[in-house]
A and B are shown apart, each in its own frame.
Chain A
Amino acid sequence: MADGSIGLWTVPLAVFGGAIRVSTPFLFVSLGECITERSGRINLGLEGTLVMGAMSAYGISYLSGSPWLGVLAAGVTGALLGALHAGICSLPRVNDIAVGIALMLFGTGLAFYLGKPLIEPTAPRLPAIDFGWWSDIPQVRAALRINVMFLIGVALAPILYWAFRTTRWGLLIRTAGESSDAARAMGHSVLLIRLRATMVGGFLAGIGGSFLSLFYPGSWNEGLSSGQGITAVALVIFARWDPMLCLWASLAFGGAAALGPALQSVGVTSGYHLFNAAPYILTLAIMIITCSPKRTLTGAPAELSITR
Chain B
Amino acid sequence: MTTEAADPVGAVGAVAPAAEPGFLQRHGASIEYILIPGAALVGALAVFGIFVALFGKNPLDLYFYMYQGAFGTWFSWQNTLTRASPLILTALCTALPAQLGMVIIGGEGALLIGALSATSAALALQGAPPLVIQIAMVCGGVIGGGLWIMLSGGLRQYRGVNETISSLLLVYIALAILNHLVEGVMRDPASLNKPSTREIGAANMIGSIPGTDVHWGLVFGLIAAITAYILIYHTVFGFAARVAGGNIRAAKIVGLGVNKLILTICFLAGGAAGLAGMVEVAAVQGRTNANLAAGYGFTGILVAFLARQNPLAIIPVAILLGGISASGGLLQRRLGLPDASVLVLQGIIFVFVLASDALYGRVGFLKGKS
Contacts and interface: CB of A to CB of B under 8 A. Distances in A.
B347 A277 contact: no
Contact of A292 (B159, B173, B353): B159
Contacts of A91: 355, 357-358
Contacts of B171: 227
A276 B177 CA distance: 10
A109 interface: yes
Contacts of B162: 237, 287, 291, 306
Contacts of B369: none
A108 B298 CA distance: 12
Contacts of A230: 165, 168-169
B172 interface: yes
Interface stretch (B179-187, B229-237, B280-288): B179-187
Given A101-B350, A233-B165, A293-B159, A273 B103 contact: no
Contacts of A129: none
Contacts of A292: 159-160
B139 to A, nearest CB: 27
A283 B360 contact: no
Contacts of A116: 338, 340
A112 B173 contact: no
Interface in A81-97: 84, 88, 91-95, 97
Given A97-B103, A274-B176, A274-B180, A106 B351 contact: yes
B267 interface: no
Interface string A285-302: 001100111100000000
Contact of A94 (B161, B168, B357): B357
A283 B171 CA distance: 13
B351 A273 contact: no
Contacts of A113: 338, 340-341, 343-344
B196 to A, nearest CB: 15
A237 B166 CA distance: 12
A287 B344 contact: no
Nearest to A294: B160
A103 B351 contact: yes
B353 to A, nearest CB: 8
B36 interface: no
Interface in A104-136: 105-110, 112-113, 116
Contacts of B355: 88, 91, 94
B164 A291 contact: no
A231 interface: yes
A151 interface: no
Q: Which of A91, A113, A116 has the most CB of B within 10 A?
A: A113
A166 interface: no
A287 B160 CA distance: 9
Given A93-B358, A276-B176, A287-B166, A103 B347 contact: yes
Contacts of A95: 103, 354, 357
A98 interface: yes
Contacts of A98: 103, 305, 354
Given A93-B360, A108-B343, A271-B180, A293 B158 contact: yes
A306 B183 contact: no
B122 interface: no
Contacts of A274: 176-177, 180
B166 A284 contact: yes
Interface string A262-275: 00000000111110
Nearest to B301: A101
A79 B303 CA distance: 28
A109 B159 contact: no
A145 B71 CA distance: 55
Interface in B296-312: 298, 301-302, 305
B350 A291 contact: no
Q: Which of B155, B161, B173, B301 has the most CB of A within 10 A?
A: B161
Given A109-B346, A227-B168, A288-B161, A281 B298 contact: no
A44 B162 CA distance: 12
A105 B358 contact: no
Contacts of A277: 172-173, 175-177
Contacts of B302: 102, 105
B48 to A, nearest CB: 11
Contacts of B345: 109
Contact of B169 (A48, A106, A107, A283): A283
B160 A293 contact: yes
Contacts of A108: 343, 347
A30 to B, nearest CB: 13
B354 to A, nearest CB: 5
Nearest to B355: A88
Nearest to A85: B351
A274 B174 CA distance: 10
Contacts of B318: none
Contact of A270 (B184, B340, B350): B184
Nearest to A233: B165
A92 B358 contact: yes
Nearest to B164: A97
A99 interface: yes
A294 B156 CA distance: 11
12 contacts: A93-B1, A99-B351, A101-B105, A106-B351, A107-B347, A109-B343, A110-B344, A113-B340, A277-B175, A281-B173, A287-B155, A293-B156
Given A101-B164, A280-B176, A293-B160, 8 more contacts: A84-B351, A95-B354, A106-B350, A106-B351, A109-B344, A110-B340, A287-B161, A292-B160
